[in-house]
Each structure stands twice: as structure tokens, then as C-alpha cells.
A and B are shown apart, each in its own frame.
Chain A
Amino acid sequence: MADTGAIDLSEGVGSEFVAEIRDDLELLEPDLLAMEDEQSNVDAELINRAFRSIHSIKGGAGFCGFKDLGMLSHSMENVLMRIRDGRLHIASEIVDALLSGLDKLKLMIEALDTGDPVSFEDEIRAFERILEQKENIDQPDKDQPVKDQPDKNQPCKNQSDKDQPDNEPMGKPHGEPGGPSHDVEMSSDKGMAVLITPEDSFFRSRSFQVKKDDVKAALSEGKFIYAVHFDLERDFIKPKKGPADIYIDVENTGDILFFDLERNTTLEQLKDHSLGVHLVVATILDSEFLSEVLELPGDEICLFDASALSLAASESSFDSVSEASAAPSKSPSDLLSAPDSSLDTLSDLASETVSKGSSGGAISDSQTSDPGSLDPPRGQDNEGVDRGETDFPQQKADQPGIVQKKTGVEVKKTVETIRVNVDLITRLMNFAGELVLSRNQLRPLIEAYARENADLNSVMQDLDMVTSEIQEDIMQIRMQPVGKLLSRFKRIIRDTARQLSKKISYTIEGEGVELDRTVLEGLSNPMTHLMRNAVDHGIETPEQRSGNNKPETGIISVKAFHEGGNVHINISDDGMGIDPEKICSKAVEKGVISKRFAEKMTHKEKIDLIFSPGFSTSETITDVSGRGVGMDVVRTNIEKLRGHIDMDSIPGQGTTVQMIIPLTLAIVSALIVGVDRFRFAIPQVNVSEVVFLSAADLKKNLEKVGGSDVIRLRERLLPVIRLRNLLDIDSFYIDEKTGQKEFDRRKTLVDRRDSSSDSFSRDYPEEKQEKQEKQEKEEKRSNINDRRQTDEGGMYIVVVKVGFNRFGLCVESLFDNEEIVVKPLSDHMKSCRCFSGATILGDGNVIMILDASGMANHANLRFAVVNSEDQRRKIQEAQRGRKLLEGRNVIVFSNAENEFFAIPLSRMVRLEKITPDLVHRVGSLKYMAYQDISISIFNLEDFIPVNPCRSDLEALYVIIPRGMSVKSGIIVSNIIETMEVFQIIKKDSNTPPGVEGTAFVDNRLVQFLDMEKIVKMMEDRIVS
């Protein structure tokens, strides 16, 4: 049932309306959810807003001729109307229905382009049921039945207009009682507007007369207008300030539109006839900040609503105000009659109030020199009950997007907005970036001439400032409050929780924190995943929770805040947390890590395993999460945004995910490094630190683990990559003169030889070092022309973060940090994995931006190997000075009774069980048949001074050691077990050759054999 005959979407107007309908839908969802939360004591404002949203959706649909949309939204409106009129109680089922209706509306909007029909009969029926259900309870319904949705051109308008007089005092243009209120009146003459503070504010309903032009100017500058009160005792007498001081204080924050007093009034004069001073100020500060600056309690500052103000300030506003306010009550029009009266009347009123000595505080009318500073309060009888009902911003309910979500006493801040094509902004932002760069290039050039012509300096400074501000503002355009994204999760959490019968409350903190819209978009998916995880795996069922002495309702809270130029978003839940052991065993099971490695991991490291690729702990694959894409995808997504994600958890208490996100993608702070004559940028977010290693340090600390170079940096192993090698700088060298690419063959050879030596299992530091030195020399030779290399022959190692892994990037020179504009790489450079983009430096040169994970991949860094080696070293470190068999699997056996030996499993090929009669003696030598050949076998006592093997055994074992040139075996009497040992092996002067040392394993004194030596002794024996 696609809407046909709807107006062509390609026309500007149509798409504009569609966009507005979309906005309204977006606004509606959080309101519906909030309604559900608060159930019976739901704020009337909330319902009204929801109502208004759906109403304007209906209006828009009617205008554009989208019949389906109109019909469905009409049904929803009917339900909402009942709720608003108190004839229907909010229940989860109703919200469910409304939400599913909302989803359908969204679908319909999406389907407008494709023309696909969207069926919505189910929803309509659900609404009908809801309405019927309550039919008997409620009074007869005056609303039109749902079904007879008219297909007239403007069905919605008629509909709502009909409804309004009967059912509701407030249709779309009206506010509601009890909501924040703020009245603005204007006197039509003399360009003055009267601002009236709300009845329920500190000021009571006090009115201030200000110049319309001032209001207009303030609004056009995006300023807020506040009424401010200074107390005589607190603000003047105590701090010993005069009105002039106060005036200056306030003027520092913005423009004063209205002031009770003359500036030169003395304190004494003031004391005589007033308890305080009122003024109206236009400032860019928000109310919280203003109250802090002026050191006033928050309630003594009252914000006037911007849209009401703009209305007041606009020429034709008068009529529209009276019209809009007419419906709810008579009073606004009464009030509006006041402006008709001349200023004289107003001042009469004012003096009248003074003489009454009424609420508003003292007024010093005698001193007003300017009519604008008069303080004409309205008569008490005019205000009161009605005041709250005039919700001016809603007069523009047909302009969605100006209605903000925040409820509460604070007056809504409404700012005028326009729709702008995102591409345009992107282009604008690029240009702004270029402008900044051009400015940077210009600066040094100008400086040369500035000595001769001093004027240039000031021009340059102006340019400087304007450029920076343009850039900032344009960046600001792209910024969107994170709350927009965060509130979207409310729905996801709600739905998921209901599906799983869990009770969850979702709190948001810091929704005002702003992020670049691309970043926000990029966050949507990973955060959805995190939220689902929190609901599915984090929060327990109510039964489980109450069993664990937790409140039944779980909490998922999101907090966004600025820190260090980044935005932090923390998601925490108070659920069951993550059991590191469970994670760990799962990881072992899935082969992500080895068991041996797992045992040495810290709590945090185990939790971090959750980010490993292909990892999902969910026992059963639920509908909600665990579809195979796991936290590794989340991490990848976050890292794409140049962000960082971290997770911590206390089992039983909850989980916290911390994300650190850069404000914007387009401009990043980067460290500029150099290799040879090339420069490269590394985004600061990826840089953890920079260390300088002298040539000597380098020699001492550099070694190979698992095929990669590593250095030891503060007792931690760090794989290192030479940027020179990584990028094949040497092979890449293009001779400026010949244009030939030159290859350095020697260099390649060194590389080849080096990578062949993988000495992970045993380390010969001396040998290594030698090799390293050799390499160092080679390197030196090949780099002989490298002017940029530091004099000492040392290197800068930039410690680069990739996820929670780090590697060192050896560079030869360091330059400044620069703010760079990232230029994406074109398709022609797809093969350049190491770069994420290019940029133009302040000096006009183009340089490449290095991509941390791309480099790690390209260099084939095996972090796991290095990490496990690191673990091993740490343990070794902890037992400094003593030798440790590093958790090797050994076989423990006995020869003579109660004399135990061990050899590493890795040192043996095979274990044979034989009977004594299979042993053949030839002279002093013994032989046995093994795999069709005869091999010589030995007793341990042949090599080392131990008690001889028992000869009365029915079965013997023969261990065939690995690595023998001639196969032979060792006879032992009994195999005790194979096990993993971590014990420290003690060696002293009594330890015979062939024995590594001794240790107590399971209360046995075990001699660890030095297989190296024993094999040698055996071979010697065979040869001789």
C-alpha cells in the first residue's frame, strides 16, 4: 500500500517535510519511553510533546499526501490523546503498541523512496483494541473512530481542529499547566518588549521592559536572556559593592538590557529604598555558568525562552501571540491588552505595585532615566493559574526540531536552526582546514617582511584569529550532542529487556557532550552491541538479582564527558560482571591462547581476552547477542574512529566499558617523524610515548623473539619495527638525478639472515648480541649517507598503541606535533597498508599518515608470542638470580627406588615399555630392538653418579631422547608422571655434570637432567 499520488519527493518541499517527519519520529521515541518509565505520575509536558510530535507527523503526512502515514499516525494520535486526557493509563502494552506503530511509521518513511508497501493493519488493530478496551471505563469517546480516516487533502488539520475545543485545552500550539513557563509580552509602541518571569520562579511574575532591538540582537547572536536578582544584604553590603560594581560584573558576562538602578547610584541610596536589584542580561553563558560567575544562587537567575523572545521581538509577533494564546485561557489575551497601554500606564502599574510593597522586591522607579528600565509588573490578578499554560515555543509546533527534550523547571532553550546538506559542510570544513594550513604557510613568509612593514603583523594577527574562529565554528556545525545517540539506546535496551524479562533502568549523563557527526555515526553500531551485551549478558534476571541481594531493577548507565581533548564514554552496568576464569577457559578452548599462557594472565588481561577475534562467551546463541560478531568487531570499529576501548569488570558487581573517542576525525593531532629524507605523521592517539635509545642501549636491549625484533623497555618486551625497513625506504630511494630506483642488496641479505634465526626457545644472549652488533654495523654502513640520523647513532622509538598491544617504531628523527587535516587515500593506493591517509604540513609538503594497525599487520607482528615471552621474563624477573624451568612439561621418572629424575618432554622422542629380556648385552654396551633396528641403550648410572637401576623389575622403560645423531635410549625403572613444573631449580657445587639442578616437586626431590650434556655423553660413548 505505497502512497501513490503523494507529492514528488524530489521537489524541495516534499523532502523537507519528510525530513521533518523523520525528526518528529526521532523526538517521539524517547518521549514514549519516558512515559512508560514514569507511568502514572508522568509529566503532562511529556505526553503533550509526544502528542504534538505525532500530530505534526500527521500534519506533514496530510500535506504531502501520504495516506498510510496519515492513517497510522492518526490512530496513534487518538491513543495519545486519551492518555493525555487522563482517560487511558499508560501501560507497557500501550507503549509497546505505540512503539511498534512508530517503527512502522519509520518504515513507511524509508519506503517512500522505494514505493514498497508497508502493512500496518496489525498496528491499527492494536490501537483499536486499546481504545475499545477502555471504552466502558471512559466517557464516550468524542474522537472519530479510527477507521474512518478521511482521505481528504487535509484530513489531519480538520481532525485535530475538531478535537481541540472539546477534549483539550491545548492542541498543538499550546503548553500545559505546570510546565515551565515564561511569558513575553510586548508593547507595540516604541519598540519595547515586556519580558515577564514565570510565576513559579524566584521572581514571581515580574516584568521587565526591554528594547525589542536589544532582544533581537541578542537572539541573533545566539545569546540567552536572563532575569537576574541581586540581594541587597548578600550581594551589596557583605562584599561591599556598589551598584556600579555589580553593573560591571554583569556587563562582563554580556549585555545588560535592563537595570533597576542607575549606574552611579550609591550603596547608601540603594539601602534606603530597596532590598535588591533586578536586571536583564543577554549573555552566551548558560544559566549554571552564569550563576557561578555572578555568585548567585541558581534560582535567582531566570532564563527567558528564546523562541518566545524571538516572537516578542519580531514585528508581526503581536498578533500571532494573542492568537496562539487565545485557546487555552483568556488570560494571555488579557495580558496582551496590557501592552496596548502606553508606557505611562505601565509605569503607573509599576508604582502601584511598589506602593503595595508586593512580592517582586523593591523598585526604584525614581531613578529610572530610561523608560526601558522601568519595571512594570503585571497586576496579580492577571497572572496566576493561566500563566503556565502559555507555552510559547510550542506555537511553532509545526516546525519540529525546535522542541527540546529536556523537562524540568529550567526553561527550554530553543535555537533557530536550518537544514544544511552534510556534503556542503564537509566541503566547507575541508576548505577551512586548508585555510588554516595556508595561514600557517603564510605566517613565516609574512614575518620576513614584518620587520620592514609593521602593519603586516596586525593584519596577520587578524587573519590568524578569523581563520581560527572560522575553523572552530565550522567544526562546531558538524558537532552533535552525544545525547542524540545515547537516547536511541533507550529503546534498544527497553525492547531487549522486555524480551528477556529483565528489569533495567537506563540513565544518561552528559548528553550535551558533542562529537563530530561522523564519529557519532560510527559509534552507533559498536555501542548498540555493547548495550545489547549489557542487557543480555550483564544484567541478571530479577529473580537472580533479588537472590543476590541486588535491587530487581538493573542499572545501565552511560556517562559522557570531556577529558584531555577526547570524549570519554563510559557504559557501566551493575550486572553479574565478567568472570575472568570463564573467559579464560573459553579462550583456551577456542584456541585463542594456550593453557600455559592463560595461567599466567592477570585478571585484567583475562577480561581483555573478550576483545580477541572470534570470541563469544555466550553459552547459547541468543536472539539478542552472540551472533558470532563479538567484541573484536566493536573494538575494530572504535579503533577506526581512532578511539580506544577498554573494559573492566568485577564479578558479581558489574562491568564498565570505557571508550575514548576523538572529538573529530578530520583534524587530528599527529607526531611528525622522519626516516631518511621522508617525513611521516603518526596520529597522537596511537602514540603512547617516545623513547630515545642510544646506539649502545639499542645494542644491549635489542633481541629477537618469535621472529620479531624486540627491545626491553622498562622490563617490558616491546616488538619493534624499523620504519626504514617497513617501508623499504632503501629500496625505494629514487635518485633525484637519474630517476632510478636504487636497491641496496646488502641490506636485504642482512634481513634474510636475521629472520632465519628464531631462537625463541633458547636464548644465547651473547650470540644474539653479536649478531645484533653485526647488523648494527651493516645498518650503519648502508645508512652512511643518512644525515638525519641522530649523531649518536641512536634511534627514537615511538611506542605505538594498537588496541592494547604496543609496538615500537624506530624512526630516525622527530619533529613537532602538528594538527593535520587528514586526506583519505585514493583507490590507486589501496596497496599501501601502512598508511591511513596523507596530509599537507604547514610548510606545504605532503606527507603520509601512518596507520598503526596497518603497520603491525604489514610487519607481521605476533603480539601473542611477544606477550607470552614477556610473561615468561616477568616470572623470571621475579625470581632474579635463580634459575627457573619456565613452566615446561617434564616427565618425572625414577631409576633406583626413591630417586627421582625429570627431563623436559620436548627433549624426548619416545617412551618405550620393554621387558628386561629384550635388553641384549654386548660387552659393556646394551642394545635393544627399536623400530626394526637395534639401538644402544644406557642406564643413567652410566653417566651420572646415581644409584643403579633395580634389576628385579618385570618391566622397564626406555626414553629415546631427541636430537641424537645416533638413536639410543636411556633405561629407567618407573615412570611417575608427566607434569608442568615451575619450581626453581637449585644448582650447587655438588651437582654432577649432566644434572641441571634439583627441585622439590610434589614432595619429591627431583633431579632435572641436563639433556644437552647427557645426549653428548651418550653420543661419545657410542662413537668410542
Chain B
Amino acid sequence: MGSEQGDGAKFRQFVSFRIDGYLMGIDIHRVREVNMLLDITPVQHAPEFVRGLINLRGQTVLVFDMGVLMGGQSRILTDDSHNIILKADDVGLLVDHIGEVVAVEEDEIEALPANMDRQTANYADSIVKLEDELMTIVSVEKVLGQSKSKPAKE
């Protein structure tokens, strides 16, 4: 899991995943694990982006629906669906498809362009240009801050 690659600490590694086809990444250091515990217990009256609770080896973990966080539809569970469990807060993110761990040179990580839409700015903090695709990097802080900014669903 270390970011050592080749010539030192210049690399950062991201767990990549997809939401509605978009490639996203999350810093591997913020991820506890990735799993397929999709037996999610919904929590009534919780904010919209809360998909529910899962049992992660005896701990309850709150799963956020990454799709809703991004302003889209709630995720449809498929054989590809995964939870990315964050190290912080006992929170997981439900995503459509989990990809590889992508090592990126730090220089390649760019701040969000100024013209980025506000919705994206709500959950992302930077962007990486890969060979043939852009990868949006999710900000764990922004995601965890969601419950404070978004009003509860009545």
C-alpha cells in the first residue's frame, strides 16, 4: 500500500472507481478497504446521500451513495458495485465499479479548474490527466463534511 515507487515519495496512489462511467480516484491512504458488502440497511430520515449501514465485521459503517453525492441518481446495485471504506468516521462510499490503484506523480495532480461546476467542487479537490482520461480526485474532507452542509431530507 505504500506510495514508494521507483525513485521515492514523489508518487501518490489513488484507488480508482467509476460513477456513471466517470473515472474518479481517492487517495489510497484514506481508504481502509474495498469490499462488496452490499447488504445495506437503509436509515429512514437520514440525508439523501446516506445509503445506509453495513456490517463490517461487527462494526457498523455508514455508506454514502457516491452517485447522490455527485448530484446524480442513487446507485443501482450490480455485480460490480463496491464500497470503498474510508479510514475516517466509519464511512464508506458506494460506487459502481472499482478500478485499479493508479500511481500518479505529484506534479501531475492539478487543482480543480476554476470553471469547474459547483457540484463537482462539492466533493472533489483535484484532477489528474491520465493517458486517455481525466480522473477526478475525491476529497474525503468534503465528502465527510456533507452532512453538515446538506439539510436533512424530511
Contact = CB atoms under 8 A, between A and B. Distances in A.
Contact of A833 (B45, B62, B89): B45
Interface string A424-437: 00000000011001
B74 A739 contact: yes
A830 B77 contact: no
A735 B54 CA distance: 18
B76 A738 contact: yes
B74 A734 contact: yes
Nearest to B52: A846
B55 A848 contact: no
A438 B58 contact: yes
A847 to B, nearest CB: 6
B14 to A, nearest CB: 24
Nearest to A741: B74
A835 B44 CA distance: 9
A818 to B, nearest CB: 14
Nearest to A723: B44
Interface stretch (B26-34, B35-43, B117-125): B35-43
Nearest to A733: B42
Contact of B77 (A736, A835, A844): A736
A846 B63 CA distance: 12
Interface in A818-833: 823, 826-833
Interface residues of A, number: 36
Interface string A738-759: 1111000000000000000000
A979 interface: no
B145 to A, nearest CB: 10
A847 B44 CA distance: 11
A831 B60 CA distance: 18
B53 A729 contact: no
A826 B58 contact: no
Contacts of A729: 44
B5 interface: no
Contacts of B58: 433-434, 437-438, 840
A884 interface: no
A728 B44 contact: yes
A826 B62 contact: yes
Contacts of B73: 739-740
A830 to B, nearest CB: 7
A831 B62 contact: no
A846 B54 contact: yes
Given A734-B74, A845-B55, A827 B60 contact: no
A414 B20 CA distance: 67
Given A739-B74, A826-B91, A838-B60, A831 B46 contact: yes
A848 B74 contact: no
Contact of B43 (A433, A737, A848): A848
B42 A678 contact: yes
Contacts of B52: 846
A845 B58 CA distance: 10
Contact of B50 (A736, A828, A833): A828
A732 B44 contact: yes
A844 B60 CA distance: 10
Contacts of A834: 44-45
B90 interface: yes
Contact of B62 (A734, A739, A828, A839): A828
A727 interface: yes
Contact of A740 (B62, B64, B74, B146): B74
Contacts of B46: 828-829, 831-832
Contacts of B153: 831
A69 B45 CA distance: 54
Contact of B147 (A434, A437, A678, A828): A828
Given A826-B89, A828-B147, A739 B45 contact: no
Nearest to A835: B43
B147 A847 contact: no
A845 B44 contact: no
B45 A831 contact: yes
A678 to B, nearest CB: 7
A727 B54 contact: no
Contacts of B39: 844-845
B60 A727 contact: no
B132 to A, nearest CB: 29
Contact of A848 (B41, B54, B76, B91): B41
B122 to A, nearest CB: 15
Contact of B91 (A740, A828, A838): A828
A908 B152 CA distance: 47
Interface in B115-154: 144, 146-148, 152-153
B57 to A, nearest CB: 8
A846 B55 CA distance: 6
A732 B41 contact: no
Contacts of B91: 826, 828
A568 B55 CA distance: 35
A840 B50 contact: no
- 10 closest Cβ pairs, A-B complex: A831-B152, A434-B58, A739-B76, A727-B44, A828-B147, A846-B41, A846-B53, A832-B45, A823-B60, A739-B74
26 contacts: A434-B59, A437-B58, A738-B76, A739-B74, A739-B76, A740-B74, A826-B89, A826-B91, A828-B46, A828-B64, A828-B147, A829-B43, A829-B147, A831-B47, A832-B43, A832-B46, A833-B45, A834-B44, A835-B45, A844-B39, A845-B41, A846-B52, A846-B55, A846-B60, A847-B41, A848-B53
Interface of A: 433-434, 437-438, 678, 727-729, 732, 734, 736-741, 823, 826-835, 838-840, 844-848, 858
Given A728-B44, A846-B52, 8 more contacts: A434-B58, A437-B58, A826-B91, A832-B45, A844-B55, A846-B41, A848-B53, A858-B45
